[in-house]
């Protein structure tokens, strides 16, 4: 039976919807630029919110994609076309990440300064350069793959390393912030790695809905994620210091409950259930990404929560901007796919399928 | 040379004169308090009392906000004062996350006036240029006044003289810190604040 | 850069150094600023910005003690900064939060911008007056016309009202209004809740006593702010801080733990029961410890005065002088008999055929059974605590030791028992304040270093060998002579012979029903200025009706407050940064070594051009006087008020502007033609400090006048009142039981149960109220100052919440954040948000500051929070019978909002 690999150009209807969302998102961002970031749900206590959470999700996923392509140099799990697609998606996420960061800045006109400061004391500068590195690696990788069907083992290794560094840099970025005990432990890095794996697998599942290996990988990462999340939250709630306890209780039954249970029930258990019972790949992938986003939102919201205040809730403009950015991502991917029309023959496809 | 402040908790009655003068002198918008006084109660009735913790930016020797800043907008002067060059600030707010003392504020572009629905008053208009939407602001230790040979507004205003400004490396201040068991807030995080507290 | 110049700490030696020759430590000890302030004075034009910039000297206007010198930075005509004047010896460059916030008072868009006339004849707190802008000319024409019309019928038909509602006591024409405009009728919205002046007058010949914390080592405060709780920057805060640093022990007896208490010891007490605790303290001193200042009793008090069975002094039949018993030769002698050597404090004597005992015996007997155990029942203060602090107090009093100041040897009594509004403005409060001063006197700790001392330039006379403050001289005699039915005036003071202020509840009642109050004329023109009885007092509903009844009401106001809602014409007032004014510099309440001798004069003129079409009060008065042909009278009164004569006095026939009058006043004060406005403009103030020895009235009284441990004077005032009432056969409204009225005039301490202490099933709690640093008396527009409100709501621990003890909260199933309704025994209710805190007595609900403004024309931020005064009452029968003030407390019950 012929198994769909979804490497046809994106349907126009999806692109149209994405375009509308993108326009809405850009409008919302312009509104934010004019009125100021008071339109967000952020305040002087909670300064990083949905934009950064989504940035972590997307960049983590993108890094995972790059790493998987790198891994494929050692284990032939991907066809050259799949590699191209995955790299295209990876590039899209890096660009999307850049957009998200820019949206999150209060004074984006000065954003170039990150690139010109060379201030490597700052993890943010590391983050920027690693992101740039990954972007260019993915780009050159794409060129290489299109030319030679492969990047070679060295290039693969470099890509894996760069992707890992990017994820580590991001988790360190949080962990290095003084006075946020929720972020201090190694759990942050673990959760960043697991999220990257979940989102990466989900992304690939979107590209290869019928790929059983991808399904199994996602299943495994979701299980890991569930264990890690429950372990972190319940450990904190049952044995943590009073501060951690309070925060975890907020997550379990307080104002943060929506995020936590949203992640656990909708973002972890539901896709797991769907994976095992009735297979709906697109839904599973999107739910997994959603769950990871929820996880990042509560990590940020509770990490910055102060006694006596309300737990962060994103504002409508923030939500619209985020959805719009996703639209831009879809649109961008669609354009990129069109630009890099696959040259692969049905035969090559068959070969890859058999591997799967 | 290391400018800093010693806050004598024995002399602080939590009146918030510092909180107000800081707003007034620096023209900070609603909700922004470069200087402030945390008030708490301790003990059970009838053995209960109030405690006050006046604060400002700690102008840390190892300022995490300076190292975390990606553009160099947050910087430290030779004399120890930590400042933000708002023209370089991209508004990423990582400095705010890195600060364990809640000393930094972001300009959310909230309404310029304390009088919603009314025009900004002449004072607010005069102060407006001190603000830059989308950037981070903080206590400057009234660097403008220090450069003119004066002391910070909060140190001058304090009616009980609980805020003592000076060079922390001077013998007078060193002596005071040692003799009164002065300590730094959250010193475990290694920031080495230039603000010392004298216990009550 | 010399780092030493950047240390603002006072060097150890200066802070603690002894203050000699009346020279205050100047701001120069605040290192770093002194040298530069002078250069900052001059106006300069910045080369960079081309903006003109100057610092204008001024003084603060945010409270009633406007001592603090300020500087205002004006850039291109806009005031952009206020700071304390470092040269000023009072505040030494510092400010309190209220003073620091005054730019938002100046630039408050809710200010009144032009004269207004009401078009809706209906008046009410929620009625839109239909304001229409009019010209100053029209406004002044109408007002003049109305005054003329009314006064043509009877000059008394004009009434003035004053209070703590947004203006300062700085203008001379508040006090002088009635004499200039020839009416006896005035009222004060601040009076009923400010009964703190009688005991200081009796014991310190002063309007407000002050604590010499510069020397004090042990301080017990009943319901009193010591300068830190509601911060005063002019000296009290600094002095208290210095004293605590030095080791002074502070004991605060109060239903709530004040910031001051948190620097020492807090003794929680039931509101209105302070008298019981103080009687127990006196019991411990006189019966258990039996330790007191014998010399002070024999030679500085009326303790040896012989008292007959009727409670009167036993007098010499020829000279009519009170008699004492000299134990040296066992004879009765007049108090000023040169042979008097050893006056008896104990024993019973037969003099002139009557049996008499020394007053000391009466005092001792009055507290014979008031044991700490008895007081514990009433006040909830544990007996052992009362014993302990009394013992500590007596030990700290250093009875017998002396200190030499300015070459004068004074008794050294570094202790004080002090009383504030929370205790004095309460049931038996006037007696209580006197009682605490008796305790001080028994220990010899009054008018001497380390104790309670006088504040004002004391004016007094000696009578019967006793010191008598000038203004209270008429308590016993004049009021009986001048007692008239029908009453002459609406103040109702003649029924309350010990009152300092008009009786607001009486005045409002009289306006509504003159006959009932034995008045035979109506008030037709009413001028409330800086007065707000709707917010600052109880029973606003009655006040509303009274205001509605008066045909013509006008005011001069800063913002459209509740009072303006009842005015026919509202004149717009300059903010205090736009006025020409002067104010004496003199520290009150709490003094340290660097502030006790301060005496001087502050001056200010507008820091910026008028923002709106406003005028200041003094201009209005001058114009009104001129229009009514009263200028010569006004000038003469002004001269005598400031004791101006000769070169520096007003020519009665000439019409002056207020600025011209100020120039003469300033020169009159300095006594120097070169020290007029020019001088004051440059410096902001001029000091003429008192010699240090004159700060302690012992220096004047010793050997001349004694102080009362036996309160014969008030006792006599009560008897005189009774005689007058009987003579005219009148009954004061609300006085159904004359015994209850007359018992207030007791000459020795006595405890009575009252409506506050009587337990009731329904109203099971009492309420207490206090000042906050960012909100004390509500002067200077504190309720709608955006910065102060933000601070109160954000950083002030007490905020605008209703406080309850956790034990009580648990019993009642209440928690922090609950919306609650508090209902008073008098019928008033308020709604608020609950805050559970250990800082309050379990039987008390605490109401910090005051809030809940209702005028729709004020900044809406002022509407938040509960209005405490709605729980109180000035109803007939509830007005405190001796002094005419009202209790600051009431019994209440609490319930969750929405629950019946």
Confidence of residue C725 (pLDDT cuts 50, 70, 90): very high
- Domain boundary assignment for chain C: 116-195+503-572, 198-472+700-725+733-745, 765-896
Q: Do chains B and C touch (3 or more CB pairs under 8 A)?
A: yes
Chain A positions in Cβ-Cβ contact with residue B133 (cut-off 8 Å):
36, 106-107
Confidence of residue C39 (pLDDT cuts 50, 70, 90): very low
Structure confidence by residue, pLDDT tens digits, B82-133: 999 999 999 999 999 999 999 999 999 876 679 988 888 999 999 988 889 9
Query: Which of B36, B64, B68 should we substitute to test contact with A (largest number of A Cβ atoms within 10 Å)?
Result: B68
| Average pLDDT of the residues in C217-238 | 94
Q: Are residues A299 and A335 in the same domain?
A: no
| Bridge partner residues of B6 (DSSP) | B164, B196
Query: Which of B15, B33, B111, B128 should we substitute to test contact with C (largest number of C Cβ atoms within 10 Å)?
Result: B15
> CA angle at residue B78 from B77 to B81, to 5 degrees?
40
**C194 close to C885: Cβ distance less than 8 angstroms:** yes
Q: How many helices (H) and strands (E) does chain B have?
A: 7, 9
Q: How many cross-chain Cβ pairs, A to B, lie less than 8 Å apart?
A: 118
Put simply, whether B113 touches A (Cβ < 8 Å) is: no
Beta-strand ranges (E) seen in C337-405 are: 349-351, 354-358, 402-405
Structure confidence by residue, pLDDT tens digits, A186-226: 999 999 999 999 999 999 999 998 888 899 999 999 999 99
Inter-chain touch B123–C104, beta carbons under 8 Å: yes
Q: What is the pLDDT of residue A219?
A: 94
Q: Are residues A218 and A159 in the same domain?
A: no
Q: Are residues A245 and A306 in the same domain?
A: yes
> C257 — phi, psi (to 5°)?
-80, 105
From the CB of residue C643, how many other CB atoms can be counted at a distance below 10 Å? Answer: 9
- Fold type of domain C765-896: Barwin-like endoglucanases (2.40.40)
Confidence of residue C468 (pLDDT cuts 50, 70, 90): confident
N- to C-terminal Cα separation, chain C: 70
Whole-number Cα distances in Å, A191 to A170, A224, A235, C863, C870? 11, 9, 15, 49, 58
Q: Is the pLDDT of residue C271 over 60?
A: yes
Could you tell me if residue A356 is inside a domain? Answer: no
Inter-chain touch B109–A42, beta carbons under 8 Å: no
Q: What is the pLDDT of residue C885?
A: 93
Confidence of residue C651 (pLDDT cuts 50, 70, 90): very high
**C217 close to C248: Cβ distance less than 8 angstroms:** yes
Put simply, whether B112 touches A (Cβ < 8 Å) is: no
Structure confidence by residue, pLDDT tens digits, C83-113: 999 999 999 999 999 999 999 999 999 999 9
Q: Is the pLDDT of residue C49 over 80?
A: no
Query: Which of B100, B108, B190 should we substitute to test contact with A (largest number of A Cβ atoms within 10 Å)?
Result: B108
Inter-chain touch C266–B17, beta carbons under 8 Å: no
Q: What is the pLDDT of residue A355?
A: 40
Report the chain A residue with the minimal C-alpha distance to residue B134.
A106
Calpha distance C773→B15 (Å, rounded): 5
Query: Which of B71, B110, B113, B191 should we substitute to test contact with A (largest number of A Cβ atoms within 10 Å)?
Result: B71
Put simply, whether A132 touches B (Cβ < 8 Å) is: no
Q: Residue A157 belongs to what domain range? A: 11-176+315-342
**C787 close to B23: Cβ distance less than 8 angstroms:** yes
More confident residue, C459 or C846: C846
Whole-number Cα distances in Å, A131 to A72, A135, A137, A204, C740? 21, 6, 10, 20, 87
Put simply, whether C811 touches B (Cβ < 8 Å) is: no
B67 closest CA partner among A172, C102, C481, C681? A172
Put simply, whether A310 touches B (Cβ < 8 Å) is: no
Helix (H, G, I), strand (E, B) or coil at C169: coil
Put simply, whether A46 touches B (Cβ < 8 Å) is: no
Q: How many residues does chain C have?
A: 900
Q: Are residues A271 and A322 in the same domain?
A: no
Report the chain B residue with the minimal C-alpha distance to residue C788.
B20
Q: Write the residue in B67, B91, B134 that is nearest to A121 by C-beta.
A: B67
The CATH number for B66's domain is 3.30.70.20
Inter-chain touch B43–C36, beta carbons under 8 Å: no
Q: What is the pLDDT of residue C132?
A: 97
| Average pLDDT of the residues in C238-246 | 97
Query: Which of A97, A122, A172, A176 should we substitute to test contact with B (largest number of B Cβ atoms within 10 Å)?
Result: A122
More confident residue, C295 or C13: C295
Task: List all residues of chain A from 180 to 219 with a beta carbon under 8 Å from chain B.
Answer: 180
Chain C positions in Cβ-Cβ contact with residue B121 (cut-off 8 Å):
104, 107-109
Put simply, whether A43 touches B (Cβ < 8 Å) is: yes
Whole-number Cα distances in Å, A124 to A62, A171, A184? 18, 11, 17
Q: What is the pLDDT of residue C167?
A: 67
| A80 preceded by a cis bond (ω within 30 of 0) | no
Inter-chain touch B97–A42, beta carbons under 8 Å: no
Q: Is the pLDDT of residue C346 over 80?
A: yes
Q: Are residues A305 and A323 in the same domain?
A: no
Q: What is the pLDDT of residue A250?
A: 92
C261 closest CA partner among B38, B161, B46? B46
Inter-chain touch C806–B167, beta carbons under 8 Å: no
Mean pLDDT score across all residues of chain C: 91
Question: What's the CATH class of domain C198-472+700-725+733-745?
Answer: alpha beta
356 residues of chain A, pLDDT tens digit each: 334 445 566 788 899 999 999 999 999 999 999 999 999 999 999 999 999 999 999 999 999 999 999 999 998 888 888 999 999 999 999 999 999 999 999 999 999 999 999 999 999 999 999 999 999 999 999 999 988 888 889 999 999 999 999 999 999 999 999 888 899 889 999 999 999 999 999 999 999 988 888 999 999 999 999 999 999 999 989 987 888 889 999 999 999 999 999 999 999 999 999 998 877 899 999 999 999 999 999 999 999 998 888 999 999 999 999 999 999 999 999 999 988 875 544 444 444 444 43
| C486 preceded by a cis bond (ω within 30 of 0) | yes
Mean pLDDT score across all residues of chain B: 95
Task: List all residues of chain B from 54 to 93 with a beta carbon under 8 Å from chain A.
Answer: 64, 67-73, 87-93
**Would you put residue B161 in left (φ > 0), alpha (ψ -120 to 50) or beta?**
left
Q: Are residues A47 and A147 in the same domain?
A: yes
- End of a domain among A275, A298, A313? A313
Q: Which chains touch B (3 or more CB pairs under 8 A)?
A: A, C
Q: Write the residue in B14, B24, B51 that is nearest to C100 by C-beta.
A: B24
Report the gap between the CA of B149 and the closest CA in chain A (Å): 32
Put simply, whether A346 touches B (Cβ < 8 Å) is: no
Confidence of residue C10 (pLDDT cuts 50, 70, 90): very low
Q: Is the pLDDT of residue C758 over 90?
A: no
Task: List all residues of chain B from 175 to 194 with a beta carbon under 8 Å from chain A.
Answer: 186, 189, 191
Confidence of residue C25 (pLDDT cuts 50, 70, 90): very low
Report the chain A residue with the minimal C-alpha distance to residue B86.
A107
Whole-number Cα distances in Å, A149 to A63, A144, A343, A353, C566? 20, 7, 11, 16, 90
What is the percent of chain C where pLDDT is above 70?
93
Judged on CB neighbours under 10 Å (0-12, 13-18, 19+), C641 is middle
Q: Residue B150 belongs to what domain range? A: 3-198
**C897 close to C819: Cβ distance less than 8 angstroms:** yes
Q: Are residues A31 and A105 in the same domain?
A: yes
Does domain C116-195+503-572 fall under CATH 3.40.50.740? My reply is yes
Report the complex ipTM: 0.97
| Average pLDDT of the residues in C438-457 | 94
How many structural domains are present in chain A? 2
200 residues of chain B, pLDDT tens digit each: 999 999 999 999 999 999 999 999 999 999 999 999 999 999 999 999 999 999 999 999 999 999 999 999 999 999 999 999 999 999 999 999 999 999 999 999 876 679 988 888 999 999 988 889 999 999 999 999 999 999 999 999 999 999 999 999 999 999 999 999 999 999 878 899 999 999 98
Q: What is the pLDDT of residue C851?
A: 86
How many structural domains are present in chain B? 1
Calpha distance C741→C717 (Å, rounded): 12
Confidence of residue C479 (pLDDT cuts 50, 70, 90): confident
Report the gap between the CA of A112 and the closest CA in chain B (Å): 9
Q: What is the pLDDT of residue C20?
A: 29
């Amino acid at each position: 039976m012929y198994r769909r690999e979804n490497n046809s150009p994106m349907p126009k209807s999806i692109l149209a919807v994405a375009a509308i969302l993108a326009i809405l998102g850009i409008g919302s961002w312009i509104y934010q630029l004019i009125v100021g970031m008071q339109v967000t749900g952020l305040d002087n206590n909670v300064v990083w919110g949905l934009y950064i959470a989504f940035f972590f999700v997307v960049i983590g996923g993108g890094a995972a994609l790059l790493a998987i392509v790198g891994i494929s140099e050692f284990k032939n799990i991907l066809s050259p076309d799949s590699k191209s697609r995955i790299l295209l998606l990876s590039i899209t996420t890096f660009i999307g990440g850049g957009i998200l960061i820019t949206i999150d800045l209060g004074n984006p006109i000065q954003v170039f300064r990150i690139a010109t400061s060379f201030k490597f004391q700052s993890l943010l500068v590391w983050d920027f350069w690693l992101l740039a590195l990954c972007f260019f690696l993915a780009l050159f990788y794409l060129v290489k793959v299109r030319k030679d069907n492969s990047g070679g083992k060295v290039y693969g290794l470099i890509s894996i390393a760069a992707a890992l560094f990017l994820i580590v840099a991001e988790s360190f970025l949080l962990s290095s912030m003084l006075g946020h005990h929720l972020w201090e432990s190694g759990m942050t890095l673990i959760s960043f790695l697991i999220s990257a794996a979940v989102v990466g697998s989900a992304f690939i599942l979107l590209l290869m809905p019928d790929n059983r290996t991808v399904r199994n990988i996602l299943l495994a990462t979701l299980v890991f994620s569930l264990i890690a999340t429950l372990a972190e939250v319940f450990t904190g709630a049952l044995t943590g210091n009073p501060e951690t306890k309070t925060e975890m209780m907020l997550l379990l039954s307080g104002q943060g409950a929506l995020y936590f249970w949203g992640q656990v029930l909708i973002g972890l258990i539901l896709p797991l259930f769907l994976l095992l019972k009735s297979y709906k790949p697109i839904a599973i992938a999107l739910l997994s990404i959603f769950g990871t986003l929820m996880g990042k939102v509560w990590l940020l919201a509770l990490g910055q929560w102060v006694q006596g205040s309300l737990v962060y809730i994103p504002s409508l403009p923030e939500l619209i901007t985020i959805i719009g950015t996703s639209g831009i991502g879809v649109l961008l991917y669609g354009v990129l796919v069109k630009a890099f029309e696959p040259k692969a023959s049905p035969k090559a496809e068959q070969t890859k399928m058999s591997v799967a | 040379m290391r400018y800093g402040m010693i806050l004598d908790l024995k002399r602080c009655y939590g009146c918030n004169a510092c909180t107000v003068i800081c707003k007034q002198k620096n023209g900070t918008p609603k909700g922004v308090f470069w200087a402030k006084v945390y008030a708490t109660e301790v003990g059970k009735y009838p053995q209960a009392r109030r405690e006050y913790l006046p604060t400002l930016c700690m102008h840390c020797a190892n300022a995490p906000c300076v190292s975390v800043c990606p553009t160099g907008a947050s910087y430290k002067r030779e004399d120890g004062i930590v400042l933000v060059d708002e023209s370089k600030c991209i508004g990423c707010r990582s400095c705010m996350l890195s600060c364990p003392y809640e000393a930094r504020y972001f300009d959310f572009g909230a309404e310029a006036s304390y009088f919603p629905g009314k025009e900004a008053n002449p004072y607010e208009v005069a102060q407006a240029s001190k603000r830059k939407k989308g950037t981070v602001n903080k206590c400057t230790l009234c660097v403008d006044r220090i450069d003119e040979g004066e002391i910070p507004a909060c140190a001058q205003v304090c009616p009980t003289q609980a805020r003592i400004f000076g060079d922390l490396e001077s013998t007078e201040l060193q002596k005071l810190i040692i003799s009164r068991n002065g300590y730094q807030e959250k010193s475990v995080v290694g920031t080495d604040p230039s603000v010392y507290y004298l216990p009550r | 850069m010399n780092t030493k110049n950047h240390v603002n700490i006072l060097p150890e030696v200066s802070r603690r150094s002894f203050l000699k020759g009346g020279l205050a430590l100047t701001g120069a000890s605040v290192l770093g600023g002194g040298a530069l302030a002078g250069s900052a004075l001059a106006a300069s034009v910045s080369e960079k910005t081309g903006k003109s910039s100057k610092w204008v000297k001024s003084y603060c206007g945010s409270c009633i003690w406007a001592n603090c010198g300020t500087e205002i930075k004006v850039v291109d005509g806009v005031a952009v900064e206020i700071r304390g004047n470092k040269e000023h010896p009072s505040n030494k460059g510092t400010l309190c939060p209220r003073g620091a916030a005054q730019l938002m008072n100046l630039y408050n868009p809710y200010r009144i911008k032009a004269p207004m006339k009401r078009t809706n004849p209906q008046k009410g707190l929620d009625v839109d007056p239909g304001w229409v802008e009019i010209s100053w000319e029209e406004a002044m024409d109408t007002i003049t016309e109305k005054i003329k019309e009314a006064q043509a019928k009877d000059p008394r038909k004009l009434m003035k009202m004053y209070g703590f509602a947004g203006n300062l006591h700085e203008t001379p024409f508040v006090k002088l209004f009635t004499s200039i405009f020839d009416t006896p009728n005035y009222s004060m919205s601040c009076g009923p809740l400010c009964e703190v002046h009688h005991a200081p007058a009796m014991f310190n010949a002063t309007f407000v006593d002050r604590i010499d914390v510069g020397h004090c080592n042990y301080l017990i405060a009943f319901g009193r702010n010591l300068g830190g709780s509601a911060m005063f920057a002019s000296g009290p805060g600094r002095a208290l801080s210095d004293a605590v640093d030095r080791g002074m022990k502070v004991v605060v007896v109060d239903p709530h733990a004040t910031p001051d208490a948190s620097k020492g010891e807090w003794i929680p007490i039931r509101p209105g029961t302070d008298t019981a605790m103080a009687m127990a303290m006196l019991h411990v001193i006189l019966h258990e410890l039996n330790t007191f200042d014998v010399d002070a009793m024999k030679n500085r008090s009326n303790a040896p005065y012989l008292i007959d069975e009727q409670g009167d002094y036993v007098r010499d039949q020829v000279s009519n002088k009170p008699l004492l018993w000299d134990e040296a030769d066992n004879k009765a002698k007049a108090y000023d008999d040169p042979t008097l050597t050893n006056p008896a404090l104990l024993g019973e004597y037969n003099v002139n055929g009557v049996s008499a005992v020394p007053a000391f015996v009466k005092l001792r007997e009055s507290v014979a059974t008031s044991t700490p155990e008895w007081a514990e029942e009433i006040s909830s203060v544990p007996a052992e605590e009362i014993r302990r602090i009394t013992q500590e107090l007596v030990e700290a009093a250093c009875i017998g030791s002396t200190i030499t100041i300015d070459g004068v040897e004074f008794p050294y009594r570094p202790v004080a028992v002090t009383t504030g509004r929370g205790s004095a403005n309460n049931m038996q409060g006037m007696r209580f304040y006197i009682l605490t001063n008796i305790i001080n006197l028994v220990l010899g700790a009054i008018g001497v270093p380390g104790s309670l001392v006088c504040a004002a330039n004391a004016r007094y006379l000696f009578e019967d060998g006793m010191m008598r403050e000038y203004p209270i001289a008429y308590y016993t005699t004049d009021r009986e002579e001048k007692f008239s039915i029908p009453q002459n005036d609406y103040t109702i003071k003649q029924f309350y012979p010990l009152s300092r202020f008009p009786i607001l509840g009486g005045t409002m009642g009289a306006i509504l029903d003159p006959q009932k109050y034995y008045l035979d004329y109506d008030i037709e023109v009413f001028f409330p200025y800086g007065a707000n009885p709707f917010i600052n007092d109880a029973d606003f509903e009655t006040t509303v009706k009274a205001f509605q009844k008066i045909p013509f009401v006008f005011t001069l106001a800063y913002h459209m407050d509740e009072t303006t809602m009842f005015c026919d014409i509202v004149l717009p007032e300059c903010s205090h940064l736009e006025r020409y004014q002067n104010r004496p510099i003199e520290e009150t309440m709490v003094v340290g070594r660097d502030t006790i001798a301060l005496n001087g004069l502050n001056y200010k003129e507008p820091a910026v051009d008028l923002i709106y079409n406003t005028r200041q009060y003094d201009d209005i008065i001058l114009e009104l006087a001129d229009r009514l042909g009263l200028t010569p009278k006004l000038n003469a009164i002004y001269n005598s008020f400031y004791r101006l004569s000769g070169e520096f006095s007003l020519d009665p026939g000439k019409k002056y502007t207020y600025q011209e009058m100020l120039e003469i006043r300033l020169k009159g004060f300095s006594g120097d033609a070169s020290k007029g406005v020019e001088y004051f403009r440059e410096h902001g103030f001029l000091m003429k400090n008192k010699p240090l020895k004159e700060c302690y009235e012992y220096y004047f009284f010793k050997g001349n006048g004694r102080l009362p441990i036996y309160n014969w004077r008030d006792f006599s005032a009560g008897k005189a009142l009774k005689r007058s009432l009987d003579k005219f056969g009148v009954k004061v409204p609300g006085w159904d039981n004359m015994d209850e009225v007359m018992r207030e005039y007791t000459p020795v301490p006595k405890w009575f149960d009252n409506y506050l202490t009587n337990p009731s099933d329904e109203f099971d709690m009492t309420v207490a109220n206090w000042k906050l640093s960012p909100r004390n008396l509500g002067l200077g527009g504190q309720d709608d100052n955006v910065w102060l409100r933000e601070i109160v709501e954000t950083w002030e621990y007490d905020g605008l919440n209703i406080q309850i003890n956790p034990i009580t909260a648990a019993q009642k199933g209440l928690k922090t954040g609950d919306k609650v309704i508090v209902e008073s025994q008098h019928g008033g209710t308020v709604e608020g948000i609950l805050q559970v805190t250990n800082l309050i007595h379990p039987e008390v609900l605490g109401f910090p500051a005051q809030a809940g403004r209702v005028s729709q024309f004020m900044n809406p931020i002022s509407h938040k929070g509960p209005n405490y005064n709605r729980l109180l009452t000035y109803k007939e029968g509830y007005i405190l019978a001796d002094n005419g003030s009202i209790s600051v407390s009431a019994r209440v019950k609490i319930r969750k909002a929405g629950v019946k």
